[in-house]
Chains A and B, each alone.
Chain A
């Protein structure tokens, strides 16, 4: 079964080996990625808990942003609709031979169309300050929710690091530098952060889409500023990933700086 003589040959004359100490130790990014991804896939439960924090935070962020864009879209649609209505009424009033029914219809429509701008005219000033106040409050809410998420992720990463002290100590025994350990954990957190952000963005967007779709009809999507929305989506992705990365840095450094012996001794 075992062929020790051959094994000894393969292992090489440990004594005959060059004794020159060098400082070349490497962990290529491709290998680091492979190891980190494997770790995420095999510890899906832990990754899911970390990701949930990010998903919720980013979903809220996306919700706030796309809510604004959608409500703008709806307002735009309404204004446009009113304008066409007004234009139609104008056309009817100025038209040659309106039908009697049409006369009454336009008669009711016209005052409404005429009143609306007048009624709305004073509104923007009060609505403006109200809007400002509301958006300030929303900004605070968003910041708070992201902070809470960040703390949640840090906590989850700390747990994940603590669980793996033995593994970290073993890797150090095999010749890993502190920076390798940090690299592995950071790649892991970026992957989890990015995936969580994508999920969060989808969740937040779908919620807003359904809400406005049911309220104002799905035709509202035609009036949405998609360019602005996709800009915000990318921003949300970046924020989610950066948040996850930033929260992982302290635990990763803590793990890496532990002396190998202490890391090996830890029992959980």
Chain B
């Protein structure tokens, strides 16, 4: 039921549908109805963004995540209780100074390490409850990893690097080669299928890594400082690649970064300090001088 007030006679009209003229004075009501609709849509958008009202589908949830490293007799806490919900299809950046625990968080979310206490759920599955086989399956199929140091297998060609996760997934070798070739062509490396990592530039290696991360159609891409070892221009290329993938295929991108260009394309930015979440920013709430940065980039 919507309530409209006639702008001429002040008549209150209550209807489930839409009124175009006032039943009392026959005045035109379309402007009023349109304005009310606009306000409604605005409110809806606000509600969607308001986490206290809207429930999202979360692909990653962490509850009270702590991690303590033991260095001899000394205990070094890296994370001191992190509660973080990451939505499906979100582009999330994790920021923080080195030693703040962002890499640790990254490792725990990726199932590469086990938390000291607390739990991490991916698709509502507690990672700690998984058997070694299930965990390997999860890493192989659900998560694609991208690293600062690229981490390609040095003895394998680009194509072999991309097809390796497909071998683990049990794909047939014809299908595997075709898919690997297609992925590499699509990241612009169709002419370098049989090059070894050391024969490729940093940006090209990282693109191979992106193709490899996409090998088994993951739901999440975990990127640990993906632009850390790249110059501004190639770094920007990788960021754009990740962002477009995020928009086009709905893959959730979680990346640890210092890079302001990365922050610019993020939906949310999580700031971590001393093993705790300091604050979470939404992209629309922060201001970045992207223009000046763009100017610098073209100069490079």
Residues in chain A within 8 A of chain B (CB atoms): 1-17, 19, 21-28, 31, 35, 38-39, 42-43, 166-167, 169-178, 180, 259-262, 264
Contacts and interface: CB of A to CB of B under 8 A. Distances in A.
B165 A174 contact: yes
B136 A27 contact: no
B241 A4 contact: yes
B14 to A, nearest CB: 41
A171 B212 CA distance: 12
Nearest to A168: B153
B188 interface: yes
A15 B252 CA distance: 8
B187 A170 contact: no
Identify the interface centre among B114, B153, B169: most chain A CB within 10 Å of its CB.
B153
Given A9-B249, A17-B217, A27-B168, A175 B188 contact: no
Contacts of A31: 167
A1 B107 CA distance: 33
Contacts of B141: 17, 175
Interface in B97-139: 107, 110, 112-114, 123, 125, 130-134, 136-139
Given A7-B186, A15-B251, A178-B132, 4 more contacts: A38-B155, A167-B154, A175-B168, A259-B112
A142 to B, nearest CB: 36
Contact of B188 (A1, A24, A43, A260): A1
Contacts of B262: none
B250 A39 contact: no
Nearest to B67: A261
A180 to B, nearest CB: 8
Contacts of B214: 7, 10-11
B80 to A, nearest CB: 18
Given A23-B133, A175-B139, A261-B113, A4 B248 contact: yes
B265 to A, nearest CB: 13
Contacts of B140: 25, 174-175
Interface string B160-172: 0000110111100
Contacts of B182: 10
Q: Closest 7 A-B residue pairs measured CB to CB? A: A175-B140, A8-B248, A12-B217, A14-B251, A8-B249, A23-B133, A261-B113
Given A12-B217, A260-B112, A171 B153 contact: yes
18 contacts: A7-B241, A8-B251, A10-B186, A11-B214, A13-B250, A14-B220, A15-B219, A15-B251, A25-B133, A27-B168, A39-B155, A170-B152, A172-B112, A174-B212, A177-B132, A177-B136, A259-B112, A259-B113
Nearest to B243: A4
B244 interface: yes
A25 B131 CA distance: 12
A8 B151 CA distance: 23
Contacts of A3: 186
Contacts of B251: 8, 11, 14-15
B245 interface: yes
Contacts of A43: 155
Contacts of A169: 112, 151
B25 interface: no
A262 B156 CA distance: 23
Nearest to B165: A174
B34 to A, nearest CB: 34
B107 A7 contact: no
B153 A2 contact: no
A11 B212 CA distance: 10
Interface string B199-224: 00000000100001010111111000
B226 interface: no
Interface in B6-31: none
A204 B293 CA distance: 70
A14 B250 contact: yes
B233 interface: no
A45 to B, nearest CB: 13
B263 interface: no
A13 B136 contact: no
B123 A2 contact: no
A22 B151 contact: no
B153 A21 contact: no
Contacts of A170: 147, 151-153
Nearest to A25: B136
A1 B240 CA distance: 13
A182 to B, nearest CB: 13
A5 B248 contact: yes
Given A176-B168, A259-B114, A19 B123 contact: yes
A73 to B, nearest CB: 47
A31 B160 CA distance: 11
B132 A4 contact: no
Contacts of B250: 13-16
Nearest to A35: B156
B145 interface: yes
A171 B110 contact: no
B179 interface: yes
